[in-house]
Amino acid sequence: MKYRGSCHCGHVAFEVEGDIGTALACNCSMCQRKGSLLWFLPYEKLHLLTPEENAQTYEFNKHVIKHRFCPKCGIHPYAKGVDPQGNTVAAINVRCLDDIDLTTIPVHNYDGRKI
C-alpha cells in the first residue's frame, strides 16, 4: 500500500510504500519526548516529495540514526538508520501519515533506555 505523509506545515513531504504490520513506541530520551510511533522499512521505499534539504538532521548518543525534522514546524516525520544486519532503513513516524487509523496498528513497546 502507498501512503503519503508530511510534517505539519508540509515543508517536508514524502510517500512510502509497504504494509504497516506494527509500529514501535520507544522510550529512549528522544523518542519519548517526540511521542512518535515508528514503522521500519527499507530506505528505498521512502520517496521524498520535497527537496531533501527541506529537512534538518539531529543525531545524538552514538550518531547512528539521522532524525529528520522540519525546521519550520519542528515535526519529525522520519529518520534514517542502519538495522542490525547493516541494511539502510527508514523509520517512518506513522503519526505523520495521512488517513491512518492509529487504533488499527499494533504497537510494540521498545526499551530504548537500555542501549
User: For 55-111, how does the pLDDT look when each residue is reduced to its tens digit (9 = 90+)?
Assistant: 999 988 777 789 999 999 999 999 999 998 999 999 999 999 999 999 999 999 988
Q: SS3 for 109? A: strand
Residue 13 covered by a domain: yes
Contact, 95 vs 37, CB < 8 A? yes
- 52: Cβ contacts below 8 Å, ≥ 6 apart: none
At 17-30, the pLDDT tens digits run 999 999 999 888 88
Q: What is the CATH number of the domain that holds 7?
A: 2.170.150.70
Domains of the chain: total: 1
Q: Measured between alpha carbons, how far is 65 from 52 in angstroms, rounded to an integer?
A: 16
Residue 51 covered by a domain: yes
Q: Measured between alpha carbons, how far is 108 from 115 in angstroms, rounded to an integer?
A: 17
Residue 115 covered by a domain: no
Residue 114 covered by a domain: no
* pLDDT confidence of residue 115: 57
Q: pTM for the complete prediction? A: 0.92
What range defines the domain where residue 12 resides?
Answer: 2-109
